[in-house]
Chain A
Amino acid sequence: MAYTSIIDWITGVYSQHGWADPIQANPYYPFGDAYNLPYDLGMKLWNIIGGAIAWLLDLLFPGNDVSTWLVCDMTNNIFALVLFMVLVFAVVFVACLISLWEERKVLGRGMDRRGTMIGMWGFLQCVADGLKTFMKDNVFSKKVDGMTYWWTVALIIGTSVLIDCMVPLSPRWFVVNYDAGLLIIMGLYALAPFFILVSGWSQNNKYSLIGGIRAAEMMISYEVPLLIIIATAALLAGSLNIGDIVMAQTKHFWYVIPMFVGFVTFMICATAESERAPFDLAEAESELVEGWQTEYGGMKWGLVMLADYLRGACSCGIIVLLFFGGWNLPFMEWTYFLGDGIASFHQNFMWWFPAPELTFLLKAWLIFFVMIAIRLGTGRVRTDSILNLGWKVFMPLSILNLVIVLIFKLFIGGVF
């Protein structure tokens, strides 16, 4: 290709014939035959950025190989993957900040105060808080067990970011598209208790130790009903693939109708799983100072907090996927945006508009509102009653939910 003008590179992406087919035109496309919007956006972004750099280099040193390398297919794909990751994380991060802002505002109004007030109805307060934790000194106790202290918190934050990024926002906005997608998310979700337990031990602090043990015992016991309900939903849909579960709901009805018991159980279990009030006994402030986070200060604390909210947002996302029809509205698919085939993607003028993704996020924020409302009205539950609840109430309830679904499936049939 000739490096005559930067306009070429911009128009090269969008030629007279419309958008180049991102899958057919790309020999190294990593997502098989599924269209991926963030990857596509990343590719186009790199086409512009990399193309501009290549053009500039070529202008200065005509005929160099770096310019050619920057715009070859292989390099395009590698940089597109990097941009894809950044994009996916940015969206998850902003969505998480919005849920944080939502929580602070709703809690504030429910308590007869204003909540955050700095910029954009208080949204910039979250950003300011994040920046503040960046500026904090990195303080840690001399007597902590160094390796576990650092690695566990990194892993807790890492897995939390990972699971939230793995929740697909739509059939075109995903990281991986496995058939067992939900199980992978739950599997990564279930890693946290071990890290928290070890992290609580490594801090050489009695509060952290008790907090870590509490977190571990609670999360382990609440994972069982969660998984049972996920299996029930998969049973209804006939697949563990998230896309299939959502499509089954769009075709028939939202699964909150047959699985209402399961929804309530899942909601409470997910609240417990993401350590939110009233199940925040691992960081029970009144007795355990900050629980297992006691010795983490500054940016570590900020990231742990972010991880907490990421887990909360992830729980809400899974609830939306399982019970509320994911990114689709009832009886309606976003065919205009999602298309029924890959070829028609770029035919629409508004192909880039994230309507399904926004639908999904709005639903998730609504679910998060319910979680906030629960936090508004409840106190902290005691350790023994939490375990009692988990094993003696929610576990049977999830089984009951399974039985109800089985009865539906056996005797009503039809739509199931």
Chain B
Amino acid sequence: MEGHRGVIFNIQRFSLHDGPGIRTTVFLKGCPLRCPWCHNPESQSRLPELMYWESRCSGCGACVPACSRGALRLQDGRPVLSSGQCAACGDCVKSCPAGARGISGRTVTPHEVLAEVLGDTVFYDQSGGGVTFSGGEPLAQPEFLEETLRLCKDAGLSTVVDTCGFAHWDVLERIAPLVDLFLYDVKLMDDAAHMESVGVSNKIILDNLRRLASAGSKVTARLPVIPGVNDGMANIQKTGEYLSSVGVRRVTLLPYHDLGKEKYVRLGREYPLEDMASLPDESIERIYHTLRGFGLQVDVSGQS
């Protein structure tokens, strides 16, 4: 039985911030949202993408003739890619002795994922950890996600799904019994602002959250705090109101960081938030207290 294949871009062991305990996070590739602060830009497209680590490159030029489409040329001792011509076939990756090139995105079966994830079982048992599906947007590959979740559950693993919530309700409804905890992103309460920031309406997202919570699923909301985008008091107030009204009890703040910046470079893309101001500590503190005012249990990622 082959099952539905999925596209993932990473399996990360020893993840400490994607649910309880020591976890392995499976990152599914492809996302319906386009958040400019996204720290995993390689997660956005469903298609395989070429990544290039300039610091590892020895400038040997082996990749140039390896590309059958002529998408590469050597300039100042460094390979330069004409991205329009690249089909992410991986021929140049195989040719690179330094491991400076890689393809983000591989096609896998649910059984293959399970086999990799089981490697750290003893650490899950010990720590109350397990497997987390993140992305990208895991719900964007519903059949693959469902099958993999089922295999993981059958193997006795704890499961977490980290989602933006932008999916048909029946997808969530189908997987909910297989998920021990949802980490559910809530970005902006104002629909127009949401639309403008990330490219889709928040209606479905908020609606799904309400239904999921009322159906009895365990949900922790996650609020990426982006300076100038959603850290204003009005938005925080509304977020608190909404979460408490639909019965969500816990929220984790994810303060903005630019650690993903390097990845944009590797993909040959511009970083969309080049001039973003850093987030003042007071701001997080203010948000923390405001949300606590709604009776929510608030955690800040990376702090205890």
Partners in one complex: no
B interface residues (Cβ-Cβ under 8 A, vs A): none
